[in-house]
Every structure is written in structure tokens, then in C-alpha cells.
Amino acid sequence: MTARNKFFDDMSQLMTNAMGVAQGAKTEADTAFRGMVDRWLADRDLVTREEFDVVRAMALKAREENEALAARLDALEGKSDKKPVMPNVAPEPPLA
């Protein structure tokens, strides 16, 4: 009976070692895969979320400034009763 217990102990130890090796292989495969994905993304020249947020904030600020300048221009043009002076340009002949 002790021989049978030794057999089961040896099989148990073998399975435990095999699971440890499998777990190590899984960890190594995960690391290799993540490295490949990181290199692939770096080659694609994608922007990070932080860079995107900074550029988005700059675009929003530029849009606000543009709207403010447009409103200021409209106000200035509204105050001026003068018509814009057109340069002396000969009219184009009509197309035949």
C-alpha cells in the first residue's frame, strides 16, 4: 500500500511541476505578446491620450478666440457706416 501512496505522491508532484511550467510559459507568452503589440503601436505613430487631450484643448481655445474675434469684427463693421473701398479694377468682359 505504501508503494501505491508513493506512486500517487510522485504523480501529484509531477502534475504540480507541469502546472508550474505551464504557468511560466503563459507568463512568458503574455510578455512577448505585449512587447509585440507595443512595438506595433509605436511603429504606427499613434498619439497618446494625453497628447490628444492637449491638442483638443488647443483647438477649443482657438475656436473660442476665433468666435470672439468674429464678434468683435462684426461689432466694428456695424459701427462703421462707410462701405469698404474697392480698388480700381476694370470689370471683366462677359463670356460669350
Domain ranges for the chain, please list them. 46-78
Taking only the tens place, the pLDDT of each residue in 19-37 is 999 999 999 999 999 999 9
pLDDT digit string, tens, across residues 46-66: 888 999 999 999 999 999 999
33: helix, coil or strand? Answer: helix
| Neighbouring C-alpha atoms within 13 Å toward the C-beta of 50 | 0
Indicate yes or no: pTM above 0.75. no
Residue with cell 502534475: 15
Q: Whole-angstrom Cα distance, residue 28 to residue 25? A: 5
